[in-house]
Chains A and B, each alone.
Chain A
C-alpha cells in the first residue's frame, strides 16, 4: 500500500543553519505530495505542495522538489529561525483517491 517514510527526529539546529528533512514515498501512479507543519499548540497546516514530477513547492523560505526517479520530496530551508521550531509531516494523496497518507513527523528544534 501507499506509504511515506521520513527521517526520525528530533532535529536540533542553531539559528541560520541549513535544514534538510528527508521524505520518501511509495505509491502507485502519480500522487500529489505535501508538507504539513504543526507549530506548538496549533493545528496542522499546509506548508507546501507539489502535484507532478519536477514541481517545486515553496513557502516561507522552505522548498521541496518532487523527484519521481528517487520517489522523494525532501524539505529544505537555507537558514532556519527559532520560529521554525515545529513538527513537520510529509504526506501524499493519490490521484483519484481521497486518503491523505502521512509520515510519522519530524520534530525540529532551532536554538538561538
Chain B
C-alpha cells in the first residue's frame, strides 16, 4: 500500500476487555515495529518483527500483551484484560530493512481508551 495503515483509529473499551489492534505495513518492508505513546510522553518500544526471524518482545510491558505477524504482512497487537494504564496511542512502523540508517515509516496510530 501507499503507507502504513492501522485500524481502528480509535478504540474505546471497558476495563477487563480484550482488544486487538491491526497494522498493515508498506508492501515489501521486512521490519515491523510496535510502539506505545502515552499522553505527553515519548515513544515506548514494544516489539519488533524482522522477516521470518523470531520477534524481539523485550519491550512488552506484561504478559497481557502479545503480537503476531504473518510473514512480511499484517501484524496484530493484542491486549488482554485491559487496564486503564493501557490507555495510549499505539503506533506501528515499518522499514525496508534492518540497516541502522533506515528510516521508519509510521502509521497514524490507534488511540486506545480504557474506561
- Is chain B found bound to chain A in the same assembly? yes
Residues of A that sit less than 8 Å from B by CB: 4, 31-32, 34, 36, 42-46, 49, 51, 89, 93-105
Q: Mark B30-61, 1 if CB is under 8 A from A, else 0.
A: 01010100000111010010100000100100
Structural contact, B106 and A94, CB atoms closer than 8 A: no
Residues of B within 8 Å of A96, CB to CB, are 100
Residues of B within 8 Å of A32, CB to CB, are 100-101
Q: How far is the CA of A91 from the CA of B108 in the complex (A)?
A: 18
Residues of A within 8 Å of B45, CB to CB, are 99-101
Structural contact, B42 and A46, CB atoms closer than 8 A: no
Structural contact, A98 and B106, CB atoms closer than 8 A: no
Once A96-B100, A97-B100, A98-B56 are accepted as A-B contacts, the answer to whether A43 and B91 lie under 8 Å apart by CB is: yes
Can you give 13 contacting A-B residue pairs, CB < 8 Å? A31-B100, A36-B104, A42-B108, A43-B3, A43-B91, A44-B93, A46-B104, A89-B43, A96-B100, A98-B48, A98-B98, A102-B42, A105-B42
